[in-house]
């Protein structure tokens, strides 16, 4: 197997990354994702970080140009003033195609993000994991993350 290459995403990768993001959301729906996605959700998702790429958001991919066999989206945010107003990294999306599972692609993407966050001098890094995603939780624990908070939700009748 060829060595995995993690690279910064280019504009030409956005269509493939959006398609991979849709697959990720389909998986989250099987686990009970509480939100309905709009028909143009992937375009809105792309728009949510494109203007800050390279400054406060970072997108890395595995795959040849125009293809996203795996990707990771990371963002920088700030904690509220009462929690020190420190900059925190957030890995908001990680997708690895089934064909690459066990190849180290996910770990390589995470290591790339962690290096960037360390370079930026961030306080910590957080990841949200969809409830019921035991394999996802195991992956993140193996990457050195620990459970810190638990999110609960109540759906309202509106």
Q: Percent of the chain having pLDDT more than 90?
A: 89
Tell me the C-alpha distance between 138 and 101, whole Å.
Answer: 14
* Mean pLDDT for the stretch of residues 76-93: 97
* Mean pLDDT for the stretch of residues 53-79: 96
Please tell me the predicted confidence (pLDDT) of residue 158: 80
Q: Judge whether residue 91 has pLDDT over 60.
A: yes
Tell me the C-alpha distance between 28 and 24, whole Å.
Answer: 6
Please tell me the predicted confidence (pLDDT) of residue 1: 44
Q: Judge whether residue 34 has pLDDT over 80.
A: yes
Please tell me the predicted confidence (pLDDT) of residue 2: 54
Tell me the C-alpha distance between 14 and 45, whole Å.
Answer: 11
Domains of the chain, CATH where assigned: 6-142 (3.40.630.30)
Reported confidence tier of residue 4, pLDDT bands at 50, 70, 90:
confident
Reported confidence tier of residue 98, pLDDT bands at 50, 70, 90:
very high
pLDDT tens profile 103-144: 999 999 999 999 999 999 999 999 999 999 999 999 999 999
Smallest CA-to-CA distance from 96 within 126, 133, 132 is with 133
3-state SS, the chain, equals CCCCCEEECCHHHHHHHHHHHHHHHHHHHHCCCCCCCCCCHHHHHHHHHHCCECCCEEEEEECCCCCCCEEEEEEEEECCHHHCCCEEEEEEEEEECHHHCCCCHHHHHHHHHHHHHHHCCCCCEEECCCCCCHHHHHHHHHCCCCCCCCCCCCCCCC
Average pLDDT along the chain: 94
Smallest CA-to-CA distance from 14 within 73, 56, 96 is with 73
Pairing of strands 87-96, 125-127: parallel
Q: Percent of the chain having pLDDT more than 70?
A: 99
């Amino acid at each position: 197997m060829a060595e995995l290459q993690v690279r910064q995403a280019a504009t030409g990768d956005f269509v493939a990354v959006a398609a991979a993001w849709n697959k990720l959301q389909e998986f989250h729906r099987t686990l009970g994702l509480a939100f309905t996605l709009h028909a143009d959700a992937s375009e809105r998702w792309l728009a949510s970080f494109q203007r800050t790429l390279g400054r406060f958001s970072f997108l890395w991919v595995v795959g040849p140009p125009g293809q996203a066999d795996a990707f990771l989206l990371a963002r920088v945010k700030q904690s509220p003033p009462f929690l020190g107003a420190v900059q925190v990294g957030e890995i908001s999306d990680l997708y690895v195609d089934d064909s690459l599972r066990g190849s180290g692609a996910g770990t390589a993407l995470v290591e790339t993000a962690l290096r960037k966050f360390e370079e930026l001098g961030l306080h910590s890094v957080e990841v949200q994991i969809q409830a019921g995603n035991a394999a996802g939780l195991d992956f993140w624990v193996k990457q050195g993350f620990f459970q810190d908070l638990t999110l609960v939700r109540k759906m309202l009748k509106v």
